[in-house]
Amino acid sequence: MIKEVIYALGHPSITAIHRTTFEITKDVNIIGQGDCIVAVSADKGANDLSIRFKQAATQPDTLIVLDFFAGELHERIIGHGHPDLMFEHPEDLVGRVSSYTCPRTLMVNADKSALRLDRNFVRTIQSKNVEIRIELTAIRPWQR
pTM of the model: 0.95
Domains by residue range for the chain, with CATH: 2-143 (2.60.120.630)
Q: What does the alpha-carbon distance between residue 59 and residue 46 come to, in Å, rounded to a whole number?
A: 17
Left if phi > 0, otherwise alpha if psi is -120 to 50, otherwise beta: which for 28? alpha
90 neighbors 47 (Cβ within 8 angstroms):
yes
Q: What does the alpha-carbon distance between residue 28 and residue 140 come to, in Å, rounded to a whole number?
A: 33
pLDDT in tens, 99-133: 999 999 999 999 999 999 999 999 999 998 899 99
Q: What does the alpha-carbon distance between residue 97 and residue 113 come to, in Å, rounded to a whole number?
A: 7
pLDDT in tens, 32-74: 778 999 999 999 999 999 999 999 999 989 999 999 999 999 9
